[in-house]
Each structure stands twice: as C-alpha cells, then as structure tokens.
Amino acid sequence: MVDDMLLTPEAVRDAERWTAHNYHPLPVVISSAEGAWVTDIDGRRYLDCLAGYSALNFGHRHPRLIATAHEQLDRLTLTSRAFVHDQFATFCHELADLCGTELVLPMNTGAEAVETAIKVARKWGYQVKGVPAGKATIVVADGNFHGRTTTIISFSTDPDARNDFGPYTPGFKIVPYGDLTALAEAIDENTVAVLLEPIQGEQGVVVPPAGYLPGVRQLCTEQNVLFLADEIQSGLGRTGTTFALDHEGVRPDMYLLGKALGGGIVPVSAVAADKSVLGVLRPGEHGSTFGGNPLACAVATEVVRLLATGEFQRRSAELGARLHASLNGLIGEGLVAVRGRGLWAGIDIDPSLMTGRQACERLAERGVLAKDTHGSTLRLAPPLVVEPEELDFAVTQLREILS
C-alpha cells in the first residue's frame, strides 16, 4: 500500500493536535488486539513486546477476564465506598491470601498505591514507632520510578520527571540502588520506611546485586523500619514468580501492586499489609471515589485466580529463560548488555549503531512493538501468554535491525 493511502499518518497528526505532548508515541495507531498481538487501523499486525508496561501480563482481552467484565457490567459498576458492594470482600480476601497479608486496600492507579503507602508509613511512624510529629523520613533509591504525582516526583532522580515541578514534598532521602552500606547510613530514628522497586523497570530493568534485597529486609527489621516493595511493574508473574521478591525469599511489610492487577481492562491498584501497618487508617483519612469499585474488584479477583493457578509464573520463567538465552547471544552483535528476569528484559544497544527510539521504530516496521527508555536501552516485556515461536520472531527482528 502506498503511504498516502494509509490512515495512520493523519490519525497520528490528529492525536498530536488534540493533546498535550507529554508522550512521544511510536507512529502506530492500534484499533484491536488479542493475546500477544495488536492490529493497527491500516490492518498491520504487531507482536506487543511492551504489554502496557506489564499491565497486560495476561495478554489483550484474556477470555476469562473479558467474560468477568461483561458479566459485571451487566450487574453493577460503581457504588463508591460509601456503601459496601458484593465484589469487595472477595477481592480483598483473595488478594490478601495471594500476598500472605491480613489486609488489602484498593485504589486505581499505581501512583495512588504509592501515595497510600507513603501516607500509611508516615502515620505508622508517628503512631506506632513514636517519630516526632512532622519528622518522618522515607529512604528511596537513585533511579527510582514510582509514578507522577507531585510528592512522588519530589524524590525522582530523573530531571525530566522532576524539573520545573517544584516546590517539592520534603521527607525523602535518596541512596544509590543496590548499596546496603549507603542504606544503613541513611536510616536513623526518624526513618519510617524504605521504598524500593525489587527490579527497577523504568531505569532499564535493573536487577540489584544478589543479597541486596534480603539485606534490605534485615536492616528494616533491625531498625524498626517498614519495607515497602513497589511491585507495580515487577509483580504478578512478570519475573517468573508471583512477586519479584520471591526470587530471594523476601517478604516486605507492604506490597504495592497495580498495572496487571486490572487485567488490562480497568485501572486497579492496591497495597497489601498486615493489620499492624494498614490498621493505622481511620475513616475519612484516605480514599478514592473509584478505588475498589465493583467492576475493578470483579476483574481483579479473576486476575488473582489466574495467578493462583501458577501457570503464568511458570510460563514467564520458562519462556523468560528462552528469551534471555537468545538475547545474550546478541551481546557483541549489536547489544552491549542484557538484564532482567523472566519475561522481562532491559537491553542496551550499542549506542554507535542507533538510539533506542530508532531501534523501536525499526522494530515496529518489522511487526514488533517495544519501548525505549534512557538513551539506547529498550525494555522487552511481552504478555505472559506469548508463544515460544513468537518470542523467536521478536528476537529475529531484533537481530535483523542490529546487523
């Protein structure tokens, strides 16, 4: 098809015309999807190797999730938490069981789960730990990504995320990721929490050194500090286990979950912790009109049930091994580094060859969607329903653009 017969260029121009330029999307206009594949308005198909930044772990339109959503749409969609609805307890109970915690508090976006965690940790600090009023600090890591609210970007180390959005929320200390000595030095009597991603996704799928996460757990326990694990991107099967922390046998004081929890259908996030922590909240202190709504709870309960089968974790582990083996084979052939776990890889392309953006554009021309992050780094995170041959197809396209 000649270019001026395509619908895509005008649709891209229209999208740019009518919105703020807070994203720089690839020029692909998607109109339908199923499983690991999406189709654009010109009928071209692409293997989705981003999966909505891991919000689509179960693929596009997983039949069980879609059926649940349809059923719930036909019955009840929203009540607000002014009333109880019949999907609420089931969801909280089953997610608590998956997390091994006593309580769950649902919200909508990942950033809201992070905000919940920060508020709960501060209140816990004042009411349980005995930190003097207004003095609570939370230790975070260099290179973190926890969302886009003004408080969260206050402790970002990414100038694009942070600059020109001040004044900033105080009360955060930033330490190098993976450095236990620096973390130990940053903790003092006013520290209420350490907030970390077990694997830093936006930073380029950075896996900390072995022993770091158990070390964080130990330090937090010794110093009476809460370990808040942001598993919004790393959790729910992405790395080959239910949570990325499972690889090192670590349990945090609070899980922060989002993205895949909504099954790629609705935004659902939650924090999960024991009563000793989440029990500090009282009516009127925190909430959200849409948080824990019936549609969200119905879909997310089905997500929890899919995860409870273990099938997706197993697929991620097995197919992840295949993906990493073939990506590692490209080191020296256009790639300079490969990181990650399960079906999640950060790959650094030799910067003398092309930028990450150029790589993504070339991959898209060959039917593979991926997303660059800083410089010449790409993230690959296909849906966990991807087939082995489809992964091989993606790696073949990558090899072609690098050669």
Ligand X SMILES: Cc1ncc(COP(=O)(O)O)c(C=O)c1O
Interface with ligand X by CB under 6 A: which residues? 53, 109-111, 114, 145-147, 197, 201-202, 230, 232-233, 258
Residue 178 vs residues 146, 181, 183, 192, 379: alpha-carbon distances, Å? 17, 9, 9, 20, 20
Q: Least Å distance between CB 9 and ligand X?
A: 28
Q: Least Å distance between CB 145 and ligand X?
A: 5
Residue 202 or 390: the one with the smaller Cβ distance to ligand X is: 202
Asked about 86 being catalytic, the answer comes back as: no
Question: 178 in the Ramachandran plot: left (φ > 0), alpha (ψ -120 to 50) or beta?
Answer: left
Residue 237 or 334: the one with the smaller Cβ distance to ligand X is: 237
The helices-and-strands tally (H runs, E runs) of the chain is: 14, 15
Q: Least Å distance between CB 210 and ligand X?
A: 21
- Quick check: 193 and 121 in contact, CB under 8 A? yes
Q: Least Å distance between CB 115 and ligand X?
A: 9
Out of 123, 155, 259, 372, the active site residue is: 259
- Quick check: 123 and 134 in contact, CB under 8 A? no
Q: Is 345 helix (H, G, I), strand (E, B) or coil?
A: strand
Residue 258 or 383: the one with the smaller Cβ distance to ligand X is: 258
Residue 68 or 144: the one with the smaller Cβ distance to ligand X is: 144
Q: Least Å distance between CB 232 and ligand X?
A: 4
Asked about 145 being catalytic, the answer comes back as: yes
Out of 58, 145, 155, 227, the active site residue is: 145
Output the residue with the shortest Cβ distance to ligand X: 110
Residue 316 vs residues 47, 75, 198, 254: alpha-carbon distances, Å? 17, 34, 17, 24
Out of 40, 230, 253, 372, the active site residue is: 230
Asked about 230 being catalytic, the answer comes back as: yes
Residue 285: burial class (beta carbons within 10 Å; 0-12, 13-18, 19+): exposed
Residue 114 or 131: the one with the smaller Cβ distance to ligand X is: 114
User: CA nearest 402: which of 319, 314, 338?
Assistant: 338
What is the C-alpha separation between 168 and 154, in angstroms, rounded?
Answer: 5
Catalytic residue ranges: 145, 230, 259
